[in-house]
Structure 1
Amino acid sequence: MVDSKHAMQHLDEVKPRFVVNEAVEQVAYADRIILNKIDLVSEDELDKLTKRIMHINVMAPIKLAKYGSVDMDFVLGVGGYDLERINSEVLADNSCHGKHQHNIAQGHHEKHHHDHVHDTTVSSVSIVFEGTVDLDEVDDWLERLVEEKGEDLYRMKGILSVTGSNQCYIFQGVHSTLDGCPGKAWEPDEKRINKLVFIGRNLDETALRKGFRGCLA
């Protein structure tokens, strides 16, 4: 649950080098986000806060609330391997990708005028490729990624189209822990698309795309 009145203050708090901003980290790990006390902020403030949170964590659906009142189904209905949820998370990231880049630039612009540094090092990156992948190659790539970026790689989720399988493959990970399982069967006329989302610090989108492209069959 996020206090809409004071959240930006905590998200913008400048930390010493190599010290994690706890508020940013909590948003990055969240499966569900409730923006509480929305009656205490203006529409413009709420819009800026929502965009800031989406830049950090595009996976988590956001619910607006007053006095902490929210449907319990929203809080409890967290499905780690829910295919539709993962699919919507990746699609949401792609639809907002350009907006995220604009907000980053806007944050730097404000820094020059107000001498205030926003922590924009934590962000979301999505990857979408058509075709099929070699699952062993994906496993090796993700293992190398975890070894190199484990501490900075907060979360990842994805849907894979695996060569020789009529089922999609779903995976998710937190730091150095990775899990996966077969999902539903692809429909005969369904376009087989690989969709992945990463949340972390100082993510190199170009390197991530290049690494995954090397797993395509």
Structure 2
Amino acid sequence: MSLIPATILTGFLGSGKTTLLKRVLSEQHGQKIAVIENEFGEENIDNDILVSESKEQIVQMSNGCICCTIREDLREALQLLAAKKRKGLLDFDRVVIETTGLADPGPVAQTFFMDEEIAESFLLDSILTLVDAKHAAQQLNDRQEARRQVGFADQIFISKADLVSGEELDALQHRLKHMNPRAPQQVVHFGEVPIANVLDLRGFNLNAKLDIDPDFLKEDEHDHDHHDHEHGEHCNHPSHQHDHDHDHDHDHGHEHGQGHHHHHDDDVKSFVFRTRKPLDPAKLEDFLGAIVNIYGPRMLRYKGVLDMKGTNRKVIFQGVHQLMGSDLGPEWAEGEERVSKMVFIGIDLPRDILLQGLAQCEA
């Protein structure tokens, strides 16, 4: 039996996760989706979505989707669903796990890698994070959980953008980009997202693409020529707390469409390492192993496409917290520039130690 794809849906309280889910569940897309409400004893989401008030955990819905509410272990719920599917008691194609507003998606993601039984039945497709534009500034300032959710995302959906000004939206998108340059951002209205933008995003695929907006990297290049290390960290203003009461007049940052003066000094940050020299596999493995050992809990997502000594194929690696995986990708094309690129997203990671250590892994 092929693996069942799973999507983790996370996001700020009030960001519209339920609206998005309802849409995904009620749309006639011909897919049978099992939704797991992972809600740790909070109030149930709108009961009209759950159709019946019965005590049964799993509720079948009119278009063939099913919804199950768990208050205990996610592992057990996943195993139960997989077992019922195997026995032909339930028919579904994929799973969407909705976490509570302030849940950390990390442990949920790790379940799919660490637990052999789960890994035999399910494949983690991606982590989606919904951000409420109206309350984002406040939530990102006040709650580390909200910042972590942004750092984990493979795809960010921004809701309620119509309630803020263009400048505020621009500043928010800039801020999110610094925290997580890997995740594309999409502004959505009332959960109206085409299903293709939600499912099968392959965020955890070890593919040879590392989608970091090249302009995001270029902004820094004029300041830092040393050793071709670029990173996504800008002016170190103290955090502009609580919304944007600072004046919008000094427009110097907007000459090339960048609102530098909105930069918040968030603890969730990203930076990028690039080198044109091949890397030594043994050195790199030792260094990354040591880093993950020490900083793993603070490392949210990291990914690299690398030029390794001794192989003509790209080496692709990625990780979540302490869990790392790597794979051989396609061959470097003829005439393609062999550049190793890595992006790290984490909480107060020691950028200099990482960049220096990686530079020492050059062959």
* 1:135 corresponds to 2:281: yes
Q: Which of 187, 211, 214 pairs up with 2:333?
A: 187
| 1:61-72 matched pairs, under 5 angstroms | 61-72=184-195
- AA aligned to 1:44 is E
* Structure 1 residues 1-217: aligned runs within 5 Å: 1-13=130-142, 21-79=144-202, 80-84=205-209, 86=210, 88-89=211-212, 91=214, 93-95=216-218, 97=220, 101-102=233-234, 104-106=235-237, 108=238, 110=240, 120-217=266-363
* Pairwise CA distance, 1:123: 0.2
Inter-CA distance 142–132: structure 2 relative to 1 (3 Å threshold): same
Question: Per-residue CA shift, 1:174-208, capped at 9, x if unaligned?
Answer: 11000010001011211111000000111222211
- Indicate the structure with greater helix content: 1
SS at match of 2:240: helix
In structure 2, C-alpha distance between the alignment counterparts of 1:136 and 1:74, rounded to whole Å: 38
Indicate if the aligned counterparts of 1:93 and 1:126 stay in contact, CA closer than 8 A: no
Provide the identity percentage: 34
In structure 1, distance between residues paired with 2:191 and 2:132: 10
Change (3 A) 1:78 1:162: same
Partner secondary structure for residue 76 of structure 1: coil
Question: Judging changes above 3 Å, is the alpha-carbon distance between structure 1 residues 105 and 119 closer, same or farther for their aligned structure 2 residues?
Answer: closer
**Does structure 1 conserve the Cα–Cα contact (< 8 Å) formed by 2:303 and 2:344?**
yes
Partners of 1:177 and 1:54 in 2: CA distance: 24
Within 2, Cα distance between the matches of 1:109 and 1:52? 11
RMSD: 2.2
CA drift of 1:96 comes to: 5.0
More displaced 10-residue stretch of structure 1: 90-99 or 29-38: 90-99
- C-alpha deviations, 1:61-92, integer Å up to 9, x for none? 000111111222222242222322x1x22746
CA distance in 2, matches of 1:59, 1:11: 18
Residues 22-68 of structure 1: per-residue CA shift (max 9 Å, x gap): 10111111110000111111101101111111111111100011111
Distance of 1:75 and 1:188 partners within structure 2: 35
Note the C-alpha offset of 1:97.
Answer: 4.7
- Structure 2 residues without counterparts, runs of 5 or longer: 1-129, 222-230, 246-263
- Is the contact between residue 90 and residue 196 of structure 1 (CA under 8 Å) also seen in structure 2? no
Match of 1:206, SS state, is helix
Instruction: Quickly say closer, same or farther: Cα 1:46–1:186, change in 2 above 3 A.
Output: same
The structure with the larger Rg is 2
Q: Give the deviation of 1:95 after TM superposition.
A: 3.4
Residues of 1 paired with 2:304 and 2:213: CA distance?
8
TM-score (norm 2): 0.52
Q: Give per-residue Cα distances to partners, 1:110-164, cap 9 Å, x unaligned.
A: 35xx8xxx66111001000002111121111110001111111111100110112
Change (3 A) 1:175 1:11: same
